[in-house]
Amino acid sequence: MYFDDFVRKGLLDRLRSSAGDRDRRVLLTGATVVTMDPALGVLPSGDVLMEGEVIAAVGADLRAQGAATDAVVIDASGCVVAPGFVDTHRHAWEAQLRRVMPDVDDLGGYVTTTLLGYAPVYRPHDMYVGTRLAALTALDSGITTMLDFSHNSRTAAHSDAAVQALVDSGIRGVHAAMAPHFGDWDKQWPTDVARLQKEYGSGLLTFRVATLATGEIAGPELAYGPRLAAAARELGVGVSVDAVFGLPSSQAILEWERQGLLGPDLTLIHSTGLTPDAWRAIGDSGTTIALAPTSDAQIGLESAVPAVDEALSVGVRPGLSIDVEVALASDMFTQMRALHAIQRMRAVNTAYGTDVEPRRISTLDVLDFATLQGARTNGLGEVTGSLTPGKQADVLVVRAEDINNMPLNDAVGTLVLGADARNIDTVFVAGQVRKWDGRLLDVDLAALREDVAASRDHILDVGTTA
């Protein structure tokens, strides 16, 4: 994909001019294709055909079958083509507070500073700015689907702003709405999710109810249980449960099992320090898990060990997530590498001095967590997460001959251990190009920078004196 500027501009012009054509064909050809579809695997040299918003075909030589006819043909030789990453849990509204507390070392410090000190002074505009910044950053780093755990829904206007930011960014967004932990709010949640669905529930957006595991942090009103489960069922949406930690959450999980509230439409986030019996209940019910590898380890949440082994031991393949950018990295590459290293360190350390063979996860495992399993965790397993014909065309083109990736010896290993955001040449979401030639499209960075700084200044000035 090393075209001259004239060719690149011509291809982009064709993609833009035909953006509204539901029958438009785009052929990516000559790439190493990592499909993340178990039946298709990795194609050392292959093609991906997109028709409108879906993947029409994947194969070794689609040109020979006439795929290039009437198509925008993009030579992707020297690149890896892969499905977009899926973020299963990010508090996007906080993005203008990035790294404001990089060395926070416990959950209480985060909660006190961010949720008690800053969240109450957010205006709807601040929700919009933070959420849009997070979504654009996700796209830039290859995340095509992001679950926004929006736990600052103080008013309907705050929720509207967060949802509109997802729409305007062009990402495949999952808006998981939750009332704020502290401060005044309009008591419109969770019933307001029905309005959001009606007004915004089309195109790339889906919705979920967001809750906490127990009432320890913010009281029983926000804790998952029969009331919120019934509300989600009535809405026809899934539930994402944050702050799933330790013995109190383990006891809650067993109570949910007794009440029939576990299942595939429920996602438990973090899940560190849970008891074996709680894990049994999770596995038996098919409840999904969203890990936050750097959050667990860096902030020190409960055991501080991402619960990948526990999940796998009961047959649950987890999704991955970013969590809070106030203290953590913004990209999926970091999550994959952190989890890969932590699990393998833990496995070898546990077996050290014995004749037990360590059970290590692989780079393919963590890429699966970051794509196909993330989509399943977000309730979108039939929609995205793999380059499977019929699924939505959420596609990455990653330069494999850049200085940090050459030579390409193993495509999965390169995606997990070698690549980063600078190598992502092109991003498609539902067949629409969102990043091209290494640059986000339709983003005025100067204006964005000004909006982000102004919002940050307001929050810090007012929040610290609130």
CATH number, residue 38: 2.30.40.10
- 268 and 286 in a common domain: yes
- 435 and 343 in a common domain: no
pLDDT band at 286 (very low <50, low <70, confident <90, very high): very high
- State which amino acid sits at residue 255: E
pLDDT at 465 > cutoff 70: no
pLDDT at 67 > cutoff 90: no
- pLDDT value of position 316: 98
- 148 and 235 in a common domain: yes
Q: What is the mean pLDDT of residues 461-466?
A: 71
Task: Using CA atoms of 140, 94, 132, 54 in order, give the dihedral in degrees to the nearest 10.
Answer: 60
| Structural domain count, the chain | 2
- Structural domain contains residue 447: no
- pLDDT value of position 88: 98
pLDDT at 380 > cutoff 90: yes
Q: What is the mean pLDDT of residues 15-42?
A: 95
- pLDDT value of position 463: 87
- Structural domain contains residue 450: no
- Strand-pairing partners, residue 25, are 51, 71
My answer on whether omega of the bond before 124 falls inside 30° of 0, hence cis, is no
Q: Which residue has the higher pLDDT, 30 or 203?
A: 30
The CA distances from residue 160 to 7, 155, 199, in Å, are 40, 9, 9
**Would you say 328 and 322 are in contact if contact means Cβ atoms under 8 Å apart?**
yes
- 205 and 75 in a common domain: no
- Residue 410 has φ and ψ, to the nearest 5°, of -145, 115
- Structural domain contains residue 457: no
Q: What is the mean pLDDT of residues 234-251?
A: 97
Q: What is the mean pLDDT of residues 375-400?
A: 98
- 399 and 272 in a common domain: no
Last residue of a domain, one of 353, 377, 401: 377
- pLDDT value of position 184: 95
pLDDT band at 2 (very low <50, low <70, confident <90, very high): low
User: Which of 100-114, 190-204, 425-439 has the highest average model confidence (pLDDT)?
Assistant: 425-439
**Burial of residue 452, with CB atoms counted within 10 A of its CB: 0-12 exposed, 13-18 middle, 19 or more buried:** middle
- 291 and 248 in a common domain: yes
- 182 and 62 in a common domain: no
Residue 224's CB is within 10 A of a number of other CB atoms, namely: 27
Q: What is the mean pLDDT of residues 139-143?
A: 98
- 146 and 283 in a common domain: yes
- pLDDT value of position 370: 98
Give me the CATH number covering residue 270: 3.20.20.140
- Structural domain contains residue 456: no
From CA 325, how far away is CA 153, in angstroms rounded?
18
- Structural domain contains residue 455: no
CA-wise closest residue to 451 among 16, 133, 1: 133
**Would you say 174 and 146 are in contact if contact means Cβ atoms under 8 Å apart?**
yes
Cβ-proximal residues to 64 (8 Å cutoff; 6+ apart), any chain:
none
**Would you say 145 and 86 are in contact if contact means Cβ atoms under 8 Å apart?**
yes
- Structural domain contains residue 308: yes
Structure confidence by residue, pLDDT tens digits, 72-126: 999 999 999 999 999 999 999 999 999 999 999 899 999 999 999 999 999 999 9
From CA 170, how far away is CA 442, in angstroms rounded?
10
- pLDDT value of position 213: 96
- Structural domain contains residue 431: yes
- 48 and 149 in a common domain: no
Cβ-proximal residues to 333 (8 Å cutoff; 6+ apart), any chain:
141, 142, 416, 419, 420, 421
- 243 and 165 in a common domain: yes
Q: Is the pTM of this model over 0.95?
A: yes
pLDDT at 160 > cutoff 50: yes
Structure confidence by residue, pLDDT tens digits, 222-231: 999 999 999 9
- State which amino acid sits at residue 67: A
- pLDDT value of position 3: 61
Residue 72's CB is within 10 A of a number of other CB atoms, namely: 19
Cβ-proximal residues to 130 (8 Å cutoff; 6+ apart), any chain:
92, 93, 94, 95, 96, 97, 122, 165, 455
Range of the domain at 366: 85-377
Here the tokens at position 321 are 């997530």
Tell me what the pLDDT averaged over the chain comes to.
Answer: 96
**From the centroid of its chain, how far is CA 431?**
18
From CA 35, how far away is CA 341, in angstroms rounded?
24
- 210 and 148 in a common domain: yes
Last residue of a domain, one of 377, 397, 426: 377
Q: What is the mean pLDDT of residues 379-394?
A: 98
- Structural domain contains residue 247: yes
- pLDDT value of position 456: 98
- 90 and 233 in a common domain: yes
Counting residues of the chain whose pLDDT is more than 90, the rounded percentage is: 92
